[in-house]
Amino acid sequence: MADRPRRERLLTFLLLPAIIVGVFVLAGVMFRSSFQLEKLREQSVVEATLLLANEKADRLDKRIIEQDNTVRSVLDVSEREDFGSKWLESAAIQTPTVRAVLLVDYTLPERDVVAVASRAPGLENERFRRLLVHSMLNDMKVGAPDDELRHLHRSYRGQSYLISHWGVEHDGRRYLVVVWHDVPRIVHDLFPQLYADAQDAQQSRVNVVDGEGRIVFGPPLRSGGLTLGRQFETTLYKWTLNVTMTSAEELAAAVARRRVLEMTLVGLSGIVVIAGIIVILLAAARESKLSNLKSDFVANVSHELKTPLSLVRMFGELLQSGRADTEEKRRQYLQIIVSESERLAALIENVLDFAKVERGQAAYEFSEHDLGDVVARAVEACRVRAEREAVTLELEVAKGLPSVWLDERAIEIAVINLVDNALKYAPDGKRITISVQRQGGDLEVRVADQGAGIAPEDRKRIFDRFVRGKDATGKQVRGSGIGLALVKHIAEAHGGNAWVRDGSPRGSVFVLSVEIGRKQPRKARAN
Ligand code: ADP
């Protein structure tokens, strides 16, 4: 039997951490799988975005190269007089971003432009020619030009240039054909055509940034995992095309929202679990304390019953055997028997009344009485015991007190309990004063002893059921711990209260108050 609480405690100490660990493991697993799911979804979005970015970047390369090929197909290098006239005829429609086509002689070391077909004004042509000869040709790094189509994308004096070029041979001479693309036109006409399609815009958002990260086209995009950049592979290779899937943005927002929700839910569940555990632990501690108190109570009550019973038996036997030879002795023995039986009856009554209070069945019978008379009767019931212990009981009832509604028997029990306690716990005092007086709207019964008093920390809790004061247990004074709980219950049923304060000059004063002028009993709290 003794092992049971230990086993239960062990179980509690193992079970509770196990529950907490379980909750956290569960939360962790949940987190992990949702995180992995998110990652997978993110990965698929990234793949889709990448595919889209590639396709979009390729669109531009394709358009430019298409135009280069158109130029290439219509250009006749031998027609030096009328260079590029055929191209110029259809230039605006077929090659809208090409400004000019130039022919550079590569045979001599001092390369120069030998023919030009242009849609640009003369001054600009001249400026471009100089730029081409002095800078671009060097940057193109073309040794002996072959006929492969190549591109140069570079900034000169803050302006971006795109050149397509390839080599041709004619009459034993090497030439380089240079196609000058109009970059501003690509940005203003071609980009919107390629990337600002309404249907596309619903699905994704696109911008183009230059080598320094400045936006050349399109809106600013949120940088991060779900915006993907891809350089144009062949033509505008210094620039980067960025793509964000609209669904990716929604996904990111949804993920962030869900994460907050999950965190909150996990946090709340954690709090609920921990709060639940605390409540269970407190309840268990309370229950175990109460159960200990109850065991003490049973032991104490049994002892309390046994002591007067053995006295009654002993003095009864003495009388029976005729060993009490004088009348005086016989009377004394009989008195002890009577007072011990009364004590026994009072204790049984206490226990029974307390049991009723515990079950919530305490019923009081109220009628109008003089409180002074009721208290006097209770004091009389204690007098024999007091005299035996050489203690004087003094009763002081104030004059002219109003009669009150009370349960006579209950008040008697309460007063007997208080006087009995004073006799038990203040044995050195020679006098116990019981007084009845008015205090505001209440009548108060005060029982003052000259004992050691009560420690301040005990003053409230001794009115709780089964609780016994430290000194009482220390000195092995027998008791059940229900007397004051009963007194408090009775006082509350009479609209009053019960409490204790220091006596003067020493001891303690227990006070029980009863409300004046109340006809209906108040429902008292069960302790
Ligand atoms: P019991 O007397 O059976 O222990 P009670 O409920 O009547 O139970 O009293 C509770 C505790 O209050 C006692 O154990 C004792 O410590 C303390 N007590 C009660 N009356 C007095 C008193 N007059 N002087 C000192 N302590 C007291």
Q: How far is CA 197 from the centre of its chain?
A: 48
Q: Per the domain annotation, does 223 fall within a domain? A: yes
CA of 463 to the centre of ligand 1 (A): 9
Q: Whose CA is nearest to atom 16 of ligand 1?
A: 469
How far is residue 118's CA from residue 100's CA, in Å, rounded to a whole number? 4
Model pTM above 0.75: no
Are 169 and 30 found together in one domain?
A: yes
Q: Per the domain annotation, does 346 fall within a domain? A: no
Exposure pattern of 225-255 as b/e (b: 16+ CB <10 Å)?
ebbbebebebbbbbbbbbbbbebbbebbeeb
User: What is the average pLDDT score of the chain?
Assistant: 86
Contact 392, 353 (CB under 8 A): no
Domain count, the chain: 2
Ligand 1 atom with the shortest distance to the CA of 510 = 23
- Please state which of the ranges 93-107, 301-315, 495-509 shows the lowest mean pLDDT: 301-315
Q: How far is CA 346 from the centre of its chain?
A: 54
| Pocket of ligand 1 contains residue 386 by CB under 6 Å | no
526 pLDDT tier (thresholds 50, 70, 90): very low
Q: Per the domain annotation, does 419 fall within a domain? A: yes
Average the pLDDT over 132-144 and give the result: 84
| Pocket of ligand 1 contains residue 481 by CB under 6 Å | yes
Which residue among 297, 302, 421 has the greatest number of ligand 1 atoms within 8 angstroms of its CB, and so is best to mutate? Answer: 421
Of 246, 268, 297, the position where a domain reaches its end is: 246
pLDDT of residue 525: 47
Q: Whose CA is nearest to atom 2 of ligand 1?
A: 479
Q: Whose CA is nearest to atom 20 of ligand 1?
A: 421
The answer on pLDDT for 202 being more than 90 is no
| Pocket of ligand 1 contains residue 454 by CB under 6 Å | yes
pLDDT of residue 2: 47
| Pocket of ligand 1 contains residue 449 by CB under 6 Å | yes
CA of 335 to the centre of ligand 1 (A): 26
Can you give the residue range of the structural domain that contains 429?
Answer: 362-515
Q: Per the domain annotation, does 333 fall within a domain? A: no
Ligand 1 atom with the shortest distance to the CA of 470 = 16
Measure Cα distances from 191 to 93, 227, 230 in Å: 17, 19, 15
CATH number for the domain including 395?
3.30.565.10
Of 215, 246, 277, the position where a domain reaches its end is: 246
Average the pLDDT over 35-58 and give the result: 84
pLDDT in tens, 95-112: 999 999 999 988 877 888
Q: Per the domain annotation, does 458 fall within a domain? A: yes
CA of 338 to the centre of ligand 1 (A): 24
204 pLDDT tier (thresholds 50, 70, 90): confident
Q: 3-state SS string over 58-73?
A: HHHHHHHHHHHHHHHH
Are 75 and 199 found together in one domain?
A: yes
pLDDT of residue 527: 45
- Please state which of the ranges 2-11, 242-251, 372-381, 393-402 shows the lowest mean pLDDT: 2-11
